[in-house]
Chains A and B, each alone.
Chain A
Amino acid sequence: MLKKMAFSFPDEVLEHVFSFIQSDKDRNAVSMVCKSWYEIERWCRRKVFVGNCYAVSPRMVIRRFPEFRSIELKGKPHFADFNLVPDGWGGYVFPWIAEMAGAYPWLEEIRLKRMVVTDESLELIAKSFKNFKVLVLSSCEGFSTDGLAAIAASCKNLKELDLRDCEVDDLSAHWLSHFPETYTSLVSLNISCLGSDEASFSALERLVRRCTNLKTLRLNRAVPLDKIANILRHAPQLVEFGTGTYTADVRPDVYSDLAGVFSSCKELKSLSGFWDVIPDYLPAIYPVCSKLTSLNLSYATIQSPDLIKLVSHCPNLQRLLVLDYIEDSGLEVLASSCKDLQELRVFPSDPFGAEPNVSLTEQGLVAVSLGCPKLQSVLYFCRRMSNEALVTIARSRPNFTRFRLCIIEPKTADYLTLEPLDVGFGAIVQYCKDLRRLSLSGLLTDRVFEYIGTYAKKLEMLSVAFAGDSDLGLHHVLSGCESLRKLEIRDCPFGDKALLANAAKLETMRSLWMSSCAVSFAACKLLGQKMPRLNVEVIDERGPPDSRPENCPVDKLYIYRSIAGPRFDMPPFVWTMDEDSGLRLS
């Protein structure tokens, strides 16, 4: 009886129901219920997410989803952020733009992460998509301000242009003048990554003035402090603002101008920027502090007393990014002032110094974990840790979903007991049952991986460095972590056995990265031969892997599942292991 009713629903009804389902995971689940649901779903999916641009080809995506309006693509592996992926590795977006240009004139949104974007790609976007609205480039490279000029000139309906942490060839700041005088639809602009010694202030001011819907504006360092007042005066409706350089000669007129203009920004919830901060100018932002939910001071080289004063003014803070200048004392103040804190990132001011330059230890993290009941995401760089502290943190804050700890010196033991930190991290995975992301550091044996494999059932991403004793460590993770999608490992004694014993697991994951480990070329070949739906890529700048004995470890290994087969855009230092020959040069 019920079955009959399901089949009698017209497609339009189901489509309407599906339109309320936005998350990709849910959409994917819906599409697997039955053939007819698969068909209905694929025609009405408007947002497509491709976590690895090489897992599928553009043509396959277009064939399956004929009417999407928004696409998100990710390219290089995460470790590319730390210079571990050589230049030229890949992640080119042009083939995607080229395919979509023909098929989707109505495409509205493109979001890219760690991809190579050329001016040619940007020009093609500008030319092909008449209703283009959103361009978000996160950690991308390969383009210049000429490409941006093309976007500015042609995309009349552009709402969002967000270049976060991109490497842009700054040929000319005048690209901003390419926005026509009639253009007013800008809602979000993030140019914080642009260098430019000279900036087109007048063009920027005019743009801000005529775009009355502007909600997010993140400036770059070239914009001096005394220009900020002029810009903010025309945009009191801003919700998110990133300053440029925050330094100037201390002048009362500049200060009062600035303080006045900040006072008029009643909607401001997020602040960032703060390069070259002079503490004297910080109180200018006090009028907005009580409403701030997000504060990024990760470039502000100011000392603890000034940071403490600032943070004490922000009781509604949910997200704080800061340098370790804040010190344990500052984090204690944070713990008592900011009870809504959900995310904390503490970056090292002197990452390469041999000795600590600030008084930031595990105590700061303990204080925040004890004091902030809503804390769920942490990235913390420090120089010492103890199992005791980690156990306290885990017990007091079982709601962690992301826990990334970086003890700067590799293989640092518990400073109190000189033991490995296995037990401490074990407590984290045992108490924090919803943990989705974990980064390990310090002295760690195979035991920590045993804990992780046993308890971290919701873990999706794990980052490991300088840890473990043997293949058993890797085996624990691959055999135990049911939800694992991304695993990245560097400088660990993991070899062939665990990898080969868990080959099938790799097809359930997005990707595995292993560099400076002990996986042999022979094992890579075997994996490539036996697993046709995995792309096994060896990255080795020393030369072809078959010029060395087969049992020699490869330098870097990147394995990812793919239905598109091996890629053909590899540079000379990347070899793919496939089922045919075991070795194919690009």
Chain B
Amino acid sequence: MCMELQLGLALPGSDTWSRPLLKLGLYEDINVNRKKRGFDHGYLEDEFSAASFKNYEKGLVGWPPVETWRRKKLRCQVHNHMTAAENGYCGGRASNSSYVKVKMEGVVIARKIDISIHQSFETLTTTIMTMFDIFSHFPFIFGSVEENRRSFKLTYQDKEGDWLIAEDVPWRTFVRSLKCLKLIRSRG
């Protein structure tokens, strides 16, 4: 199983602008239903909000607010991408989505990459390295970009759960059995 840490790790934040800009006497005048919200909770269980979130598991209606005609046009295209992938470019995939999780050794946050737009290990590895900003974060100790690229290895987890080296298998086999990717530093 690919594991991934939650993005919710908070860095100690500074307390900017916590003073209220305006004090309103209305807080006392209007005797409204003022349930204090605990800010450490992302979601609150009020009776009406429970009702309004009743659709949540099924997906909220009209949220996020992307126009219906835009959603339709985009969905048709993502489907086209899949068809292209299945027909020839990448040899087809196990799941419906062509997006695969990518992790890098030592980096907490995982990324995602669209495997269907790649046709070789070279473009795939270069894209992943660009994604993790390797070319700017890791100084070129050895000299050329190519040499530096070789200091990283692309590994992948297949459907059986085994971790393998990507370039050891043909591209089509790799794409068909790929579940998730991990970029690691070459050792020796």
Query: B-contacting residues of A (Cβ < 8 Å)?
Result: 79, 81-84, 139, 165, 167, 193, 221, 275-276, 298-299, 301, 303, 305, 323, 347-352, 355-359, 381, 384, 387-388, 391, 406, 408, 410-420, 423, 426-427, 430, 439, 443, 445, 447, 450-451, 454, 463, 465, 469-472, 475-476, 490-491, 493, 495, 497-498, 501, 516-518, 553
Contacts and interface: CB of A to CB of B under 8 A. Distances in A.
Interface in B63-98: 63-71, 73-74, 77-78, 80-81
Given A387-B16, A423-B18, A497-B32, A83 B62 contact: yes
B7 interface: yes
A359 B131 contact: yes
A493 B13 contact: no
A202 B59 CA distance: 44
A358 B21 CA distance: 36
Interface string B106-129: 000001101001000000000000
A90 to B, nearest CB: 18
Contact of B99 (A84, A352, A357, A493): A357
Interface stretch (B36-44, B149-157, B164-172, B179-187): B36-44
A471 B69 contact: no
Nearest to B40: A418
Contacts of A83: 61-62, 68
Interface in B120-142: 130-131
B120 to A, nearest CB: 15
Contacts of B10: 415-418
Given A83-B61, A303-B114, A359-B131, A472 B68 contact: no
B49 interface: yes
A476 B24 CA distance: 10
Nearest to A413: B42
Contacts of A387: 16-17
Contacts of B111: 359
Interface string B45-64: 01011011100000111111
A391 B30 contact: no
B16 A391 contact: yes
A416 B12 CA distance: 7
A539 to B, nearest CB: 13
B8 interface: yes
B124 to A, nearest CB: 12
B42 A451 contact: no
A347 B69 CA distance: 13
Contact of B39 (A413, A423, A498): A413
B64 A79 contact: no
B64 A408 contact: yes
Contacts of B61: 82-84
Which 7 pairs, one residue from A and one from B, show the smallest C-beta to C-beta distance? A417-B13, A82-B62, A423-B17, A516-B52, A471-B32, A357-B112, A416-B13
Contact of A450 (B24, B51, B77): B24
Q: In this complex, which of B14, B16, B27, B59 has the most chain A Cβ atoms within 10 angstroms of its Cβ? A: B16
B62 A470 contact: no
Contacts, number: 158
Contacts of A430: 21
B20 A447 contact: yes
Given A475-B26, A518-B48, 7 more contacts: A301-B81, A348-B66, A356-B112, A358-B112, A443-B39, A447-B20, A476-B24
A279 B79 CA distance: 18
B39 A406 contact: no
B17 A391 contact: yes
Contacts of A476: 24
A410 B74 contact: no
B144 interface: no
Given A299-B77, A357-B99, A491 B49 contact: yes
Nearest to A498: B32
Chain B interface residue bracket vs A: 35 or more
A305 B81 CA distance: 18
9 contacts: A165-B67, A193-B69, A298-B70, A357-B112, A359-B111, A445-B39, A465-B63, A491-B49, A517-B48
A493 B114 contact: no
A451 B71 CA distance: 33
B22 interface: yes
A534 to B, nearest CB: 22
B37 A469 contact: yes
Contact of B30 (A305, A497, A516): A497
Nearest to B30: A472
A42 to B, nearest CB: 37
Given A493-B46, A516-B52, A450 B30 contact: no
A193 B52 CA distance: 33
Contact of A410 (B16, B63, B114): B63
Nearest to A501: B30
Contacts of B117: 303
Given A275-B73, A359-B131, A423 B62 contact: no
A351 B32 contact: no
Contacts of B1: none
Contacts of B20: 447, 450
A470 B33 contact: yes
B59 A82 contact: no
B37 A445 contact: yes
Contacts of B66: 82, 347-348, 351, 381
Contacts of A301: 74, 77-78, 81
Contact of A355 (B24, B39, B62, B112): B112
A167 B69 contact: yes
B70 to A, nearest CB: 7
A3 to B, nearest CB: 45
Contacts of A463: 65
Contacts of B14: 388, 417
Contacts of B13: 388, 414, 416-419
B65 A406 contact: yes
A351 B64 contact: yes
B67 A81 contact: yes
Contacts of B73: 221, 275, 299
Contacts of A221: 73
Contacts of B130: 305
A358 B22 CA distance: 39
Contacts of B99: 350, 357
B11 interface: yes
B60 A472 contact: no
Q: In this complex, which of A350, A415, A417 has the most chain B Cβ atoms within 10 angstroms of its Cβ? A: A417
